[in-house]
Amino acid sequence: MDKSPDAFRTISEVAEDLDLPQHVLRFWETRFTHIKPMKRGGGRRYYRPLDVDLLKGIRHLLYDQGYTIKGVQRLLRENGTQFIIALGSGDTAAAEAISQQKQASARQEEALAAEQDRVDADEEAAVMGTSKSAPQGRRLFGLIKGDDEGPVAADGKRLSKDNRTLLQETLFDLLECKRLLDQVR
């Protein structure tokens, strides 16, 4: 009596199905963290159907396609287990679709990161008074307006150009600290 396709397989059944020695499957568990058979009492391994499919994909890449272990590890890291399973089952259309989806996702993430960098640069430029889009009277939170305008010191005199530059540099340092803190969160 054959097992159901959804049934768990022992290591001997998987080894026989893949035409591999059992020690190779145990070795692959140490090299591919995605292979995680369920272990019962006495250390007996039971492979889920997805584990078996992943093993078929790994076997196909290593033995039929000539990949190295590091090459398969890279493919797993970059494309995920479904990609390897699709390759192992011979479903090149699904593997291509997964690859294109990953590439589109990576491009979208790059575009979002570039947009965030642009927004951050615009905000910094507006605060520092270097943005063309920032109104002249509102640069540096109203601290730097023109040579004859600007913040007034405690004694009622206008701040010198050097003092305004120091204030601007301090604000820049604070903004950089805020940016670093925002990245950590």
Domain boundaries, the chain: 9-119
User: Which residue in 34, 39, 33 sits closest to 11, CA to CA?
Assistant: 39
The more confident residue out of 121 and 59 is 59
For the segment 102-119, the average pLDDT, to the nearest whole number, is: 81
Integer Cα distance of 95 and 101 in angstroms: 10
Give the model's pLDDT for residue 146.
Answer: 53
For the segment 58-84, the average pLDDT, to the nearest whole number, is: 90
Sheet holding 45-47, edge to edge: 9-10, 45-47, 38-39
Mean of all residue pLDDT scores within the chain: 80
User: Which residue in 39, 46, 36 sits closest to 10, CA to CA?
Assistant: 46
Give the model's pLDDT for residue 84.
Answer: 87
72-96 pLDDT, tens digit per residue, is 999 898 888 888 888 888 877 777 7
98: pLDDT confidence band, cut at 50, 70 and 90?
confident
Place of tokens 């004694």: 155
Is residue 88 a contact partner of residue 58, using CB atoms and an 8 Å limit? yes
CATH topology of domain 9-119: Multidrug-efflux Transporter Regulator; Chain: A; Domain 2 (1.10.1660)
Give yes or no for residue 159 having a pLDDT over 80: no
Integer Cα distance of 26 and 8 in angstroms: 17
| Burial tier of 44 (Cβ tally within 10 Å: 0-12, 13-18, 19+) | exposed
Give the model's pLDDT for residue 148.
Answer: 54
